[in-house]
């Protein structure tokens, strides 16, 4: 854009230089024409002098009118160029403002996207943390249940062992009682059959 503005300024400078050269050429031509008219007036000092002066005046007026027309044209061209440059600057400003607005909107959208992603990440992390806590609590509760069940199982096993030992001891006492009763019964049978006492004593000791 800067290069385009510089090119327009360069073209403007060239046009102004061309206009100045044209003005100088016209001025020189005008001076030549005046010099010619004066020379003609000097050569013809007769009844044509008044007519020649009138023609010179008309020529001067025409030259003045042309000069004024050229000045107006140059002023119009300068005004058009200035207006064009002003419009170009306004367009550049508008384009820059539009670009900045687009950039701001893009930055806002990017910020909203990043913020949304961050919030979603926080929500996922919170959900995962809550799930881990639930799993840990469930695992701890399961461990407590297992420990309690193991304690109850050991208590049942100890109770079963105690009951088994009690039954074994009772059975042992009952066997001892039966054996004692059987021994007494055999001794009575031996005595009843007339077996000597020394043999009965041996059997009783056994």
Q: Give which of 88, 106, 90, 81 is closest to 11, Cα–Cα.
A: 81
What's the mean pLDDT in 155-176? 89
pLDDT digits (tens, 9 = 90+) for 168-194: 888 888 888 888 788 777 777 766 776
Mean pLDDT lowest for which of 49-63, 132-146, 154-168?
Answer: 49-63
Which H or E run includes 164?
helix 49-192
Mean pLDDT lowest for which of 22-26, 189-193, 200-204?
Answer: 200-204
Q: Is the pLDDT of residue 151 over 70?
A: yes
**Residue 197 pLDDT:** 63
Q: Is the pLDDT of residue 205 over 80?
A: no
Q: Using the 8-state DSSP alphabet, how is residue 196 labeled?
A: -
Q: Are 203 and 186 in contact (CB under 8 A)?
A: yes
**Residue 43 pLDDT:** 74
Extract the tokens encoding 113: 């996207």
* Rounded Cα distance, 201 and 2, in Å: 142
Q: Is the pLDDT of residue 46 over 80?
A: no
Q: Is the pLDDT of residue 111 over 70?
A: yes
pLDDT band at 38 (very low <50, low <70, confident <90, very high): confident
Q: Is the pLDDT of residue 34 over 70?
A: yes
Average pLDDT of the chain is 86
pLDDT digits (tens, 9 = 90+) for 59-82: 888 888 999 999 999 999 999 999
What's the mean pLDDT in 1-11? 85
Q: Are 190 and 200 in contact (CB under 8 A)?
A: yes
Q: Using the 8-state DSSP alphabet, how is residue 46 labeled?
A: S
């Amino acid at each position: 854009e800067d290069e385009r503005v510089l090119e327009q300024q360069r073209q403007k400078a060239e046009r102004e230089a061309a206009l100045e050269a044209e003005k100088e050429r016209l001025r020189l031509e005008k001076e030549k024409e005046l010099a010619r008219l004066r020379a003609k007036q000097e050569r013809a000092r007769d009844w044509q002098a008044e007519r020649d002066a009138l023609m010179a005046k008309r020529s001067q007026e025409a030259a003045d009118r042309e000069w004024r027309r050229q000045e107006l044209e140059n002023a119009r061209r300068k005004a058009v160029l200035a207006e064009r440059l002003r419009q170009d600057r306004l367009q550049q400003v508008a384009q820059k403002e539009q670009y900045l607005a687009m950039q701001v909107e893009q930055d806002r959208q990017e910020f909203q996207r990043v913020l949304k992603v961050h919030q979603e990440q926080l929500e996922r992390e919170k959900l995962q943390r809550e799930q881990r806590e639930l799993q840990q609590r469930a695992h701890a509760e399961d461990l407590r249940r297992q420990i309690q069940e193991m304690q109850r199982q050991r208590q049942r096993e100890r109770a079963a062992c105690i009951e088994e030992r009690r039954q074994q001891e009772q059975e042992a006492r009952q066997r001892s009682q039966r054996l004692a009763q059987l021994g007494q019964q055999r001794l009575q049978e031996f005595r009843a059959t007339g077996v000597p006492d020394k043999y009965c004593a041996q059997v009783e000791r056994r």
